[in-house]
Amino acid sequence: MRGGTLLIALSAMAMANPANAQPNGGGYGPGWMGPGTMGHGGFGPAAGGWGPRQQANRNLTIGQVKDTMRRWVAATGNQHIKLGAVAEKDADTITADVVTTDKDALVQRYDVNRHTGFTQPED
């Protein structure tokens, strides 16, 4: 249940620090391409809150996902985690690993839909 623990910790941090919230009023961490890009879909690094709305095709690159995830990890303020591997899983999905800083142990792997920016922990 390592992902659930991380999600709870990050949610608590976001509530305690409104500066980490997106300008559109929901979620935490930086958005994929600026304010309102995600709307209110998904949760995690690029989320805007809960709900079904998604944007048009973003065609996110691995580099864009790396940049956004790095900013999100830094915004958490947790000095014990960092961005690990970011790779293409398939034509629609890019995975991004959050790992520990000391031994690169996997904390959570995220699936990012490259077309919408929808981000969720991988099962």
| Range of the structural domain that residue 97 is part of | 2-121
- Give the DSSP letter of residue 92: T
**Of the listed ranges 27-31, 76-80, 114-118, the one predicted with least confidence:** 27-31
> Which pLDDT belongs to residue 54?
55
> Which pLDDT belongs to residue 2?
55
Count of structural domains within the chain: 1
Does residue 82 register a pLDDT over 60? yes
Long-range contacts of 89-98 (CB under 8 A, 24+ apart): 94/60, 94/62, 94/65, 95/122, 96/45, 96/65, 96/66, 96/69, 98/6, 98/69, 98/73
CA-CA distance, 10 to 30, in Å (whole number)?
Answer: 13
Average pLDDT of the chain is 73
> Which pLDDT belongs to residue 8?
52
Does residue 17 register a pLDDT over 60? no
More confident site: 24 or 110: 110
More confident site: 11 or 65: 65
Model pLDDT for residues 18-67, shown as the tens digit of each residue:
444 333 333 444 454 444 444 434 445 555 444 455 566 889 999 999 99
Does residue 70 register a pLDDT over 90? yes
